[in-house]
Amino acid sequence: MHAALGVWILSAVVCVGRGHHHVDHTDDSLSQVTSGNKEFAFQLYRKLAAQADNQDKNIFYSPSSVSVALAALSVGARGDTHQQLFSGLGYNTPQITQNDVNQVFSKLLKRRDNSSDISEGTALFLDNTFEPKPEFVKDLKESFYTQVSNVNFKQTSESTNTINKYVSDKTNGMIEKFVDSLDPNTIMYLVSHIYFKGKWDIPFETKLTKEDMFTVNENTKVPVQMMNKEDSFDVYHDLEINTTALRLPFNSSYSMLLLLPENMAELEKAICPQHLAKWANWMKVREYDIFLPKFSIKTDNSLEEVLIQMGMTHMFDGRADLSGISEGKKLVVSSVVHQAALDIDESGVTAAASTGIGFTLMSFRNIPVLKFNRPFMLLITENGTDDILFMGRIINPNN
């Protein structure tokens, strides 16, 4: 009988911000790994969108959190299992070694740890009867800043409460019940968590939020609280895929990229990392009257099926080679679960300002309107690198 190994991935986001962190792209391995992470983000999105259960549903997840968890798992993988993990994660060049991956994630996590609005890391829950290889634990602690705890998985209620409390603390209560129940045969849980809370660079005024209608599809409209703001924004209309891209900055190192397509299926089929670079280069500052729904959503996905479709098959069955974790026990991954939460509202930051009142003749200007009142995509990215921390689509803000 194989010992059960659970890889649990979670993420929570409120808002994030804008800043000026830059990756040193002279480092080839850093560039190659982060490029792989972007490719993985879009590949995973397409697999999630193609699932029958998700055809007409909201999608929201953290590519960063999933990459961190699977990269941490790869530390203990060997042979074909390791090769499949690397290939699935987008590390398709033989020049990328496990040591390169460890160093890159160490840099990424350390950089984000220095930000006041980000909390990201990993945790390892080990059964009292299980001792992994010391070098596996050492690598996770040094490269992924992993917190290690011992639990008794035979006592399912107690171990469930321990993990749920850890998750709730790390996400400031946004994800309170991460684990419903645990298999008493579990010997290890690897958890990746990410939490963001930031403020819009220019907040929406609460008094301008009004009820409006959101068109889910040709047969369904739902009422939403629609926020409104008139200002200058980075905007680009991509004629190639009939999509308008709007960048809403936050007040630290991050931005939200909102994509309003004429046809969601066309956008989902085409979008790739090169679009992010293209839009960043071609966006122009233009004055717009924008409308964005205020909403909260939570998503819960089992990722075993999509990861198998992406070629990561061996770790889930008898062919699993996780001997870098333990040679004494034959390990297999029993589950990969991802939860995410997103809140979008008007909130801003405390700031100093001076006000001058000028008087001029009233002019009637035609300010274009950009209204997110039909299905749209969103990405939360790091400025300067376009690293994708969160990604999804909103089909119905009320679900």
For residue 37, give the amino acid letter.
N
Distance from C-alpha of 52 to C-alpha of 378, rounded to nearest angstrom: 21
pTM over 0.85: yes
In sequence order, the 6+-apart residues with CB closer than 8 A to the CB of 309 are: 47
End-to-end Cα separation, the chain, in angstroms: 41
Containing 368, the helix (H) or strand (E) segment is none
Where the chain has pLDDT below 70, the residues are 1-27, 52, 113-117, 347-366
Please report the pLDDT score of residue 11 as a whole number. Answer: 39
For residue 361, give the amino acid letter.
L
Distance from C-alpha of 165 to C-alpha of 293, rounded to nearest angstrom: 32
Please report the pLDDT score of residue 6 as a whole number. Answer: 52
Residues 144-201: pLDDT tens digits?
A: 999 999 999 889 899 889 988 988 888 888 878 888 877 888 888 888 888 877 788 8
Domains of the chain, earliest start first: 3-198+297-343 (3.30.497.10), 206-293+368-394 (2.30.39.10)
Please report the pLDDT score of residue 139 as a whole number. Answer: 97
Please report the pLDDT score of residue 202 as a whole number. Answer: 87
What is the DSSP annotation of 292-356?
EEEEEEEEEEE-HHHHHHTT--GGGSTT---TTT-SSS-EEEEEEEEEEEEEE-S----------
In sequence order, the 6+-apart residues with CB closer than 8 A to the CB of 77 are: 85, 315, 321, 322, 324
Distance from C-alpha of 391 to C-alpha of 231, rounded to nearest angstrom: 25
